Amino acid sequence: MVEDAGLTGVPARGADLRLRGRTFGADHPVVMAVVNRTPDSFYAAARFDDAGADAAVARALEQGADIVDLGGVRAGRGPAVDVEEEIARVVPLVERVRRRHPELLVSVDTWRAPVARAAADAGVDLINDTWAGHDPELVEVAAERGLGIVCSHTGGAQPRTDPFRVTYPPTEGGDPLDGVLDDVLTTVLAGARRAVDLGVDPAGVLIDPTHDFGKTTWHSLHLVRRAPALVASGFPVLMALSRKDFVGEALDLGVDERLEGTLAATAVAAWLGARVFRVHDVQATRRVLDMVAVLRGDRAPARAVRGLI
């Protein structure tokens, strides 16, 4: 008889996500589709003008997205975009999505409180703060308006800067790379606790290790492997892995060739309990996440008749 050796163990389930009164449990991994109203997104296929953004939202919904994440400023270096321009790019799109697709949850990717307020007026459900509370008023907007909030980690990096020789002190007696994990946990949990203290629903507080931001490729790879430490926090974990540089460097591939690497990292993170995935490739991700949920035993197969009829 072959001993189990732990091979049948399934990692802990991640926390449920709740936004606008809708709850997503382990049986429904959440797909957050990226729709950028920017002319300079790092991934050319995700650059949309107004008409293109409308079509991209409709396509994402058709392919299985639960949330659309609308952004008006490239995360990395690029031409300056002031608050007024960011609002002009994003808020009319929020209004159109809310009007045309009332069942779709809407997120705005911004680190600026004035943009978040304008988006809240337009009907947004979630504020995706990818710059780790750079504007401390951002989470206050979420609390005042009853919105969800993403708490991220950048290692202290300022908005729209790229990492350079980033290091984190190693943990004593542990894996040297756990230094980045410790820093991530300290940062995102401090942000999450502040959000809850201000009145944000804990099930609407997502924590995001924020791969590539303030990190080397080694750091980002380690944070996928150590997803269970994030899941153990009790907050829903968001992973934004899609076509990022750590995937490209792991496989020595350009941004247009990173789909398979992204999906592999997505499957691992989902198996380990991550709940929400911010993606460019909605249909492929939807199928991968649903299959992982079936393999974990969190949902039944859509059909199971082989050997029965």
Domain ranges of the chain: 25-296
Q: Tell me the sheet residues that pair with 17.
A: 24
String of DSSP letters for 47-89? B--HHHHHHHHHHHHHTT-SEEEEESS-SSS-S---HHHHHHH
Identity of residue 127: I
Cα–Cα distance between 169 and 180 in angstroms, integer? 8
Give backbone dihedrals phi and psi of 167, rounded to 5 degrees, phi first.
-135, 155
SS3 22: strand
Cα–Cα distance between 259 and 244 in angstroms, integer? 10
Per-residue pLDDT of the chain (309 residues; tens, 9 = 90+): 344 445 568 999 999 999 999 999 999 999 999 999 988 888 888 889 988 999 999 999 999 999 999 999 998 888 889 999 999 999 999 999 999 999 999 999 999 999 999 999 999 999 999 999 999 999 999 999 999 999 999 999 989 888 889 999 988 877 889 999 999 999 999 999 999 999 999 999 999 999 999 999 999 999 999 999 999 999 999 999 999 999 999 999 999 999 999 999 999 999 999 999 999 999 999 999 999 999 999 999 999 999 999
pLDDT of 42 reads: 87
pLDDT of 3 reads: 47
In CATH, which superfamily holds the domain spanning 25-296? Answer: Dihydropteroate synthase-like (3.20.20.20)
Q: Tell me the sheet residues that pair with 151.
A: 207
Identity of residue 98: R
Q: What is the DSSP letter of 134?
A: S
pTM for the whole thing? Answer: 0.94
Place of tokens 């995700």: 46
